[in-house]
Chain A
Amino acid sequence: MHGDLGNKLVQQAKRTQNLAHLPPYQTELVRAVTREVRDLDKDVAALLEPFQGSFHPTDDQAVACTLLVNHLSMRRNKRCLLAYHHTRTDKLEKLVWKGYDVVDLAGQQVGDGSVNAGGASNVANGDGSMNNLSPQEEDYVRQYSDLLAAYKGQWTDIDLTGSLEPPRDLFIDVRVLKDAGEIQTEYGQFYVRQGDVERLIAQGYLQKLS
């Protein structure tokens, strides 16, 4: 039945929206839905052929009806394909905004925040490429990264992909707990930029004072 495959694509798109990672590109399904459109188009051409360009819908209502259904099916398939691809590019763009070098995430799970989790991969097939992305998607990500970099370049001083959390406690009071070599040799209390010392706090050299 026309439209079944399109529905599958929309279901895939819906599923993708709720997933943390990007599931594998449905090459076969995309190809099948596209083929359906081409077949429908051939049907249309075949139906119109006998009329030699002088088809009048009112004279031949049965043909007109079939033509309409074919047209609607083609348009519906187009919408399904667009929705499916757009859901995926949306997800890819989100990763680019988060600062992931998506193209370099070779074989890694492309997911929200999971990239740093040891690089454990549930999709790598060993050839080191982004298996979940179609080659066209890989191209797209590269080009979008370039576009974003160009846009960011207009605003270099504000760090466009920086945090969207309102800045709070940029500077914090810290107490030196142990000697951190070149950083600090004096014990005592200091007022420092939080971003500069987060690692030292995590490593136990400094203690954050509230």
Chain B
Amino acid sequence: MDIDDILREVDPASQSIPAETRDLQALTRAWVAERSSPELLRWPADGLFERVNDRIKQQIERVEEMTGDMDPKTNFALIVIQTELERFKYLVRSYLRARIAKIDQHTLHYLSSPDMRARLSETEQAYATRHQALLHNHYLSSFLSAFPPALQNLNDSAGNISMIDTPDTDTAVFIRLLKDSLVEGRGTDGDGIMDGKNGDIIILRWSDAKPLVDSGRAEVI
């Protein structure tokens, strides 16, 4: 019966990576990058998280169906499925919370322009807008409403100090090159430039790494 398996193994076309594995790598990469970069990254536009979430839902249903079955063989499959399920749930949870933490820290910054807003998922935009409104209302009811009207806003920038906090995009990060690429990085005493090779692991400022990461030539690690 294993002849099909063997045939499949020698057929190079089927060696292409299955969609589920691709999504796991994409999910994992998104998680590592979000945990490791000083700025909120773009919410994946290809529906990755919606897809993963649907599969998690189906898998939970499968677990419920299997739970009634006391056959020891099913039982072990159940252990495997539940273990993997917890791993997926953890990845999505940690990813979402890493993002919420960044959004909470610089809410006005991420809501300030269409460009920034585009990094958030729709749900995150709704959360951020509402959170910001709750905070502002809290300040108003606690003290701000007693202020002169001109001082009741949170986005004023008089005196050259903006009230809108922004993340430090020059924070250093580690990246791994996925393709041979020229890497340029600004430094204190001088700027650096190197002929990077696939697999290189490089320390540089996030602002210098971002173009490489955005174009898929590198990943944050």
Taking beta carbons and an 8 Å cutoff, which residues of A are in contact with B?
Answer: 30, 33-34, 37-38, 41, 71-72, 74-75, 78-79, 81-82, 85-86, 89, 93, 134, 136-137, 139-140, 143-144, 147, 150-151, 154-155, 157-160, 162-164, 166-167, 170-171, 191, 193
Contact = CB atoms under 8 A, between A and B. Distances in A.
B81 to A, nearest CB: 11
Contact of A30 (B104, B123, B130, B142): B142
Given A75-B151, A89-B135, A147-B130, A170 B83 contact: yes
A163 B87 CA distance: 11
Interface string B71-101: 0000000010011001111101110110010
A139 B79 contact: no
Nearest to B95: A158
B60 interface: yes
Contacts of B142: 30, 81, 85, 134, 136-137
B53 A157 contact: yes
A164 B93 contact: yes
A85 B90 contact: no
A158 B56 contact: yes
Contacts of A147: 127, 130-131, 134
B89 A162 contact: yes
Interface of B: 53, 56-57, 60, 79, 82-83, 86-90, 92-94, 96-97, 100, 104, 123, 127, 130-131, 134-135, 138-139, 141-144, 146-148, 151, 154, 158-159, 163
Given A144-B131, A164-B93, A170-B83, A82 B139 contact: yes
6 contacts: A38-B147, A41-B147, A72-B159, A74-B148, A155-B93, A155-B96
Given A75-B159, A158-B53, 11 more contacts: A37-B147, A41-B147, A71-B158, A74-B147, A75-B158, A81-B142, A82-B154, A82-B163, A162-B90, A167-B83, A167-B86
A163 B86 CA distance: 11
B147 A154 contact: no
B93 A162 contact: yes
B96 A160 contact: yes
Contacts of A93: 104
Contacts of B130: 147
Contacts of B147: 34, 37-38, 41, 74, 78
Contacts of A162: 89-90, 93
B151 A139 contact: no
Contact of B92 (A79, A143, A144, A158): A158
Contact of B83 (A144, A163, A171): A171
A32 B4 CA distance: 81
A164 B32 CA distance: 14
A144 B130 CA distance: 9
A136 B141 contact: yes
Contacts of A136: 138, 141-142
Given A167-B87, A171-B79, A139 B138 contact: yes
B143 A34 contact: yes
